[in-house]
Amino acid sequence: MVANNDVATPRKNRGGNTAGQGFKPGKSGNPSGRPKKTPEQINLEAACRDKTPEALATILAIMADGQEKSRLTAATYVLDRGWGKAPQTINLDATVTMMTPEQRKARIAELLGMI
């Protein structure tokens, strides 16, 4: 959080549309958006969802058995294809402090002096 708005400077749109240059205002780098799923992709997801009960039964059997690594891998694949992988979360506990322009210049000079 910035206590003084004079310290934080907003990012400027540099214009252009080449790598590292940003995009012109109102222009998208992907105007059509994400491509629609093909009928084959839709059918694969549906077929995998249909196999969910069997895949879950396989996982439960392997949990009780402790055997057949390849069956577990296959069941996991079917579940991931049908329902997507489980989201991963990251717990971050961090403190961010803003530097004044003078502090940044001093830090850069300090770092350059190490070279």
> Which residues make Cβ contacts (< 8 Å) with residue 8, sequence separation at least 6?
2, 98
Residue 110 inside a domain? The answer is: no
Residue 101 inside a domain? The answer is: no
Residue 76 inside a domain? The answer is: yes
Residue 49 inside a domain? The answer is: yes
What is the tens place of the pLDDT at every residue in 48-58? 899 989 988 88
Residue 25 inside a domain? The answer is: no
Residue 69 inside a domain? The answer is: yes
Number of domains in the chain: 1
What is the tens place of the pLDDT at every residue in 68-111? 777 888 888 888 878 888 888 988 888 888 999 999 999 999 99
Please give the residue range of the domain that contains residue 50: 38-85
Residue 12 inside a domain? The answer is: no
Q: Is the overall model pTM greater than 0.75, yes or no? A: no
